[in-house]
A and B are shown apart, each in its own frame.
Chain A
Amino acid sequence: MKTIPVETTINGDSTEFLCNADESLLDVLRDRLGLTGAKEGCGTGDCGACSVMMNGRLVCSCLVLGVETQGAEIETIEGMAKGEELHPLQRVFLEEAALQCGVCTPGILIAAKALLEKNPDPTDTEVRYWLAGNLCRCTGYDKIIKAVQTAAAEMRSA
């Protein structure tokens, strides 16, 4: 199969890659670019483990084709911390034990950050509905919701 050259910006760095026409953005990130932070939990858009931002929109990278990202701005979990400084969501998730196995965590952090950018002061219900597309099988979500709220409060007062 012929590969297609694509130019994008990933976490602020301009990035060029070759991919097949049927290859998902998730496969490109993981297999071609070595960015394995986004996880494949289903490949069908049902679990959110592959969540990334594309042009400011939260997407399941398993449902986006690599070739669709021509000219796009992509943000992944690898770009969330600034050097050694964690994003408040990352730090609070750690402090409040909002992860057990952690495989859902990259997707949930990306999704939560997208929420707080839109709505810095969500209700618990709003957080729960926003994150309804991100499955976590370990935590029962409780500590995740609380951590998002703690981080949101911190970010509001920052």
Chain B
Amino acid sequence: MVRVKLWGSLRALADGEEWVEVEASNFKELLDALSEKYPGLAPQIKRGVSLALDGVIYREAWFTKIGPENEVVLMPYMVGG
């Protein structure tokens, strides 16, 4: 199980939870599991999300390993100038 933190406006789409738990060992499994468990999150996940793993932001990287010991935070997909 991995605990994932959702940003505020996603919580309404995930039963109001800030932290949700899903079975996943990498970023892709995490996103798939989230979309399945909380279909309300699917459109945002499809548009793109970033993932902060122990404070480091990953923009796509599906196969980044994650485990219960990691701090996993979803963030919107970001662009720069």
Judged by CB atoms under 8 Å, the answer to whether A and B touch is: no
